[in-house]
Each structure stands twice: as C-alpha cells, then as structure tokens.
Structure 1
C-alpha cells in the first residue's frame, strides 16, 4: 500500500499542492498578519525550491545510479518542474491582481527585478506546456534541446529573487546551493563522458 502511494501521481500532486493551500488558507484566515507580502514571497520561495529540486535530480541520479529512489525522482522530475511553474504562475497572478491594471504593470517593466521575473516566466512557459509524454514523443530530440532553456531561465529567475528581496542574503545562499548543484552535475557528466 505504501509503495502504491509512492508511485501514485495524484498522491505526489496532493503533496505538491499542500504548500499552496497553506499559503491560501493563511492569507484568507489571517489577512492582517499574513497579507500580500507574505503570500507573494512564499509562493516565489516554493517556485524556487521546487526548481532547485528539479535541477538536483540529474546529479543525484548520476551519483546514485542503482538506487530505486533516484529512479523514482527521474520519473517524477517533470512533475516537480511543472509544480515549480505553477507556484511561479500563482506568484505572478498575485502580482497582477495587486497591481489591478495593465498601466501599472507596464509602468513597472523598466524595473530590473520585474523585467527579470517576466523573462523567467516567458522562458519557463514552453517548458511547462511541453512537460508531458505527448510532447516528448512528438518533439523527439528537439524536446531535450528545448528543455535546456531551464538553465538560462533559472539564472534569470534567481536574479529576480536577488534583486527583489528586502534582504538578499537568503537569496544569495540559495544561489550558492544552486551553483553547487550545477557544478556537481557538470562535473559528473564530464567524468561520465571521459570514462
């Protein structure tokens, strides 16, 4: 029964949606204590954390090839990526609702962190749309090339975080973790090519 739950995609999505439900409930239940600032910050954090988890799958798989849990992660990597995009989209929708009109949104496009956020969302959009089995089959080798957009998109997304943070220390710590994930991935892939 436990194994069936672990392999169930609906069960995984129930877990992935829980932080979003918690954010929504806190905002509705205690709007004075947990308002727009907390909700938009937490949705952005979850988008970044799930993106980091998605990117960590490849190095973990390369390090622990024969482990069942890394096989499970590889099979669920697209789900993690789509969940990351869903939190980023919720983050954007909150921003749009808060601004209330296209004039205010366009007026802020010249602000570097706002522009970076829009660019990141635009880069992630085709990845989210094509994160399904039909697209993998249809696009064949092009699918992998398209999904390499995740790397520049991630850089722009993390710039958005650093530039928008009241205290960028936490954002820079996450940038360091992300850099470590990518350094390990590249090193392991290079070693695999050599051997």
Structure 2
C-alpha cells in the first residue's frame, strides 16, 4: 500500500502542490504578516529548488544507475520540471497582481533583473508545454534538443534571483549548487 502510494503520480502532485497551497493560505489568512514579499519570494524559491532537483536527476542517474532513487527520479523528472514551472508561473502571477496593470510591468521589463526573469520564463514555456508523452512521441529526437533549453533557462533563473534579491547571498549559494550539479553532470557524461 505505501509503495503503491509513493509510486502514484497523483500523490506526487499532491505533495508538490502542498507548498503552493501553504503560500496561498498564509497570504490569504495573514496578509499583513505574510504579504507580497513573502509570497513572491517563497514561490520563486520553490521554483528554483524544484529546478535544481530536476537538473540533478541526470547526475544521480549517471552516478547511481540502478539505485531506486535514481529510477524514481528518472520516472518523475518531467513531473518535477513541470512543478518547477508551475511555481515559476505562480511567481509571475503574484508579480503581475502586485503591479496591477500593464504599464508598471512594461516600465520594469527592460531592467536586468526583470529581463532575465522574463527570458527564463519564455524559455520554460515550451519546455512545460512539451513535457508530456504525446510531445515526446511527436517530436522524437527534437524533443531532447528542445529540452536542452533548460540549461540556459536555469542560468537566467538564478541570475534573475541574484539581481532581484535584496540580499543576493542566497542566490549566489544556489548558483554555486547549480554549477556543482552541472559540473558533475558533464564530468560523469564524459567519463
């Protein structure tokens, strides 16, 4: 029963949705204490963390091959990536709601912090839209080439975080984690 539940895709999506539900609840229940700044920050954090987990799947698979965790991660990599996109989309919606109009959004769109965020989102949209079995079958080899856009999109995501943060220290730490994941991936693929 527990194994079946753990392998269940709906259960995984329930677990992945819990932080989002908590963010929405806290923002609705205590808007003075947990306002825009917390909601935008937490949604962005979850998008970035899930992106790092998604990117770590390949190095884990290459290092551990047939370990259960590697197999589980491979089976659910697209789910993790789509969940990362969902949090990024939520992050964007929170930003748009706060700006309450197109004019303030366009006024900020050219600044480096916002531009990197919008570019990252633009790269993630086709990845999320094609993260399903139908798209994999239809695109064949082109699917893998398309999904390599995750690497520049990830860099843009973390640059956006560093530029937009009041204190970029946490963003720099995550950039280091991203660099480590990618270094290990490249090293294992060449080995």
Query: Shorter-chain TM-score: what band?
Result: over 0.9
Equivalence for 1:66: 66
2:187 counterpart of 1:187:
yes
Equivalence for 2:77: 77
Give the CA deviation at 1:108. Answer: 0.7
Q: What TM-score do you get using the length of structure 1 for normalisation?
A: 0.97
Equivalence for 2:154: 154
Equivalence for 1:101: 101
State the Cα deviation string for residues 159-183 of structure 1 (Å, max 9, x = none). Answer: 0000001110011001101100000
Give the CA deviation at 1:69. Answer: 1.8
- Partners of 2:120 and 2:58 in 1: CA distance: 21
Kindly tell me the number of residue pairs found equivalent between the two proteins. Answer: 191
Give the CA deviation at 1:110. Answer: 1.7
RMSD (Å) for aligned C-alpha atoms:
0.5
Classify the secondary structure of the residue corresponding to 1:61. helix
State the Cα deviation string for residues 35-73 of structure 1 (Å, max 9, x = none). Answer: 000000000000000000000000001110121221111
2:139 counterpart of 1:132:
no
State the Cα deviation string for residues 84-109 of structure 1 (Å, max 9, x = none). Answer: 00000000001111111111111111
Q: What TM-score do you get using the length of structure 2 for normalisation?
A: 0.99
- Partners of 2:23 and 2:48 in 1: CA distance: 15
Equivalence for 1:8: 8
Structure 1 unpaired stretches of 5+: none
- Partners of 1:159 and 1:56 in 2: CA distance: 19
